[in-house]
């Protein structure tokens, strides 16, 4: 606290990201990074861009990257907005499209950055409880609102929604923005991007951090009706004209164009996820059905916080959320390499609480 802080700054409660330890040799399964890393073609493109041209500002509109994204999803450049990680894209969306009188609706258990953006931009919000199976019930969102936000698949539960439910929500909610955060959709969920040309209120947000192994490059994007994109661009151009540097634009474009690398690494992660889920269920874990690159698990014999601490003693980092209470016995475990999954199972099977 400092007397130099503004009133607004004094009241901020910032988002707390998962730990990025300095210690090496840890098995890091706490922030949903991709264990296989970026496409070699992305690395080559970054290296090629890493030269004297760095003295020049990058393309403020990221046109080449936006064209690559548009072609990937069968839309035009005018349907695409890019930002410095999808966190920045989300922040601009809350500011540009969700800042109205009525409250924004989002699940009570979801990405915990959403309430932080609301507080930052002074947006009122209501948290809608998940159902008993920890799933989003979209019919609960059929009420007056200043916008609707949810992650599909949801985080940290990993559970995905059927596209039909999303279509119904959009039909019932024509007058405010519906933001679908697809940070994990590449791991086996049908994308809502195919709906953006039918529904002008739909904005779909994506990231290269998870499915393309580029968390360190900071690139995210949104796809939606050109009028929504124009609103985002107005906010961006009132904030930072150059959110993506030359290296990020070049690397992201090459990563999205290397479809073979994406498919191969993505399929490997899905395969490991299914195998790990099976093995943990055999050990007595409840494993929510995941469509992501992580699983959300609890064991009846051990508290969530204690399990995270025991794994940490064994050099394995996972993510535990104290709040809300409802999920405090779960841990979110990122899908690592096959060897990392084996080590995790081995460590778990040696814990006295779990060993039968």
The footprint of ligand PLP (CB under 6 A) covers: 32, 85-87, 111, 151, 155, 181, 183, 207, 209, 215, 220
Q: Which is nearer to ligand PLP, 58 or 243 (CB)?
A: 243
- In angstroms, rounded to a whole number, what is the distance separating the alpha carbons of residues 152 and 213? 19
Strands (E), the chain: 27-28, 80-83, 104-107, 125-128, 147-151, 178-181, 202-207, 220-224, 286-287, 294-298, 316-317, 331-334
CB of 223 to ligand PLP, least distance (A): 14
- Of 180 and 307, the one with the shorter C-beta distance to ligand PLP is 180
Cβ nearer to ligand PLP, comparing 96 with 116: 116
**Least separation, in Å, of the C-beta of 174 and ligand PLP?**
25
Shortest distance in whole angstroms from residue 108 CB to ligand PLP: 15
Taking the complex as a whole, how short is the minimal distance between the CB of residue 94 and ligand PLP, in angstroms? 12
Decide if 97 contacts 179 (C-beta within 8 A).
Answer: yes
**Residue 6 CB coordination number (10 Å):** 8
Q: How far is the CB of 72 from ligand PLP (least distance, A)?
A: 16
Of 119 and 353, the one with the shorter C-beta distance to ligand PLP is 119
Query: DSSP state, 156?
Result: T
Residues 6 or more apart in contact with residue 49 via CB below 8 angstroms: 246, 247, 249, 250, 251
Residue 154 C-beta: closest distance to ligand PLP, Å: 8
Q: Which residue has the tokens 């990563």?
A: 255
Per-residue DSSP letter, 158? -
Structure tokens at 277: 């889920």
Work out how close the CB of 352 gets to ligand PLP at its nearest, in angstroms, rounded to a whole number.
33
Interaxial angle between packed helices 113-120 and 86-97, expressed in degrees from 0 to 180 and rounded to the nearest 10? 50
Residue 85 or 146: the one with the smaller Cβ distance to ligand PLP is 85
- Residue 183 is encoded by which pair of tokens? 């940070």
User: Based on CB atoms, which residue is closest to ligand PLP, 154 or 340?
Assistant: 154
User: Between residues 85 and 103, which has the closer beta carbon with respect to ligand PLP?
Assistant: 85
Angle of CA points 257, 258, 262, to nearest 5°: 120
């Amino acid at each position: 606290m400092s007397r130099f802080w503004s009133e607004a700054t004094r009241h901020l409660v910032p988002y707390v990201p998962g730990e990025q330890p300095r210690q090496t040799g840890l098995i890091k399964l706490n922030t949903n990074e991709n264990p296989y890393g970026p496409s070699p073609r992305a690395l080559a493109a970054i290296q090629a861009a890493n030269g004297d041209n760095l003295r020049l500002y990058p393309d403020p509109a990221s046109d080449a990257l936006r064209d690559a994204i548009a072609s990937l999803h069968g839309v035009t450049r005018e349907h695409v907005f890019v930002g410095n990680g999808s966190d920045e894209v989300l922040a601009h969306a809350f500011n540009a499209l969700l800042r109205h009188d009525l409250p924004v609706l989002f699940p009570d258990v979801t990405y915990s950055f959403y309430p932080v953006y609301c507080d930052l931009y002074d947006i009122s919000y209501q948290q809608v409880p998940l159902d008993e199976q920890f799933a989003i019930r979209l019919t609960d969102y059929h009420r007056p609102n200043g916008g609707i936000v949810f992650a599909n698949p949801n985080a940290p539960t990993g559970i995905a929604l059927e596209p039909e439910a999303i279509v119904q929500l959009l039909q019932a909610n024509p007058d405010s923005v519906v933001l679908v955060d697809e940070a994990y959709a590449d791991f086996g969920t049908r994308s809502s991007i195919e709906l953006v040309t039918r529904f002008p209120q739909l904005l779909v947000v994506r990231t290269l951090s998870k499915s393309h192994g580029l968390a360190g490059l900071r690139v995210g994007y949104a796809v939606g009706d050109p009028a929504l994109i124009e609103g985002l661009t107005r906010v961006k151009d009132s904030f930072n004209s150059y959110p993506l540097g030359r290296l990020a634009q070049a690397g992201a474009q090459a990563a999205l164009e290397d479809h073979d690398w994406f498919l191969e690494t993505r399929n490997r992660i899905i395969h490991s996820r299914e195998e790990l889920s099976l093995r943990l269920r055999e050990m007595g874990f409840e494993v929510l059905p995941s469509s992501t690159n992580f699983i959300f698990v609890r064991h009846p014999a051990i508290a969530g916080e204690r399990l995270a601490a025991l794994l940490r003693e064994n050099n394995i980092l996972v993510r535990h959320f104290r709040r809300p209470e409802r999920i405090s016995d779960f841990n979110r475990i990122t899908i690592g390499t096959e060897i990392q999954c084996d080590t995790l199972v081995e460590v778990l099977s040696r814990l006295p609480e779990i060993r039968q």
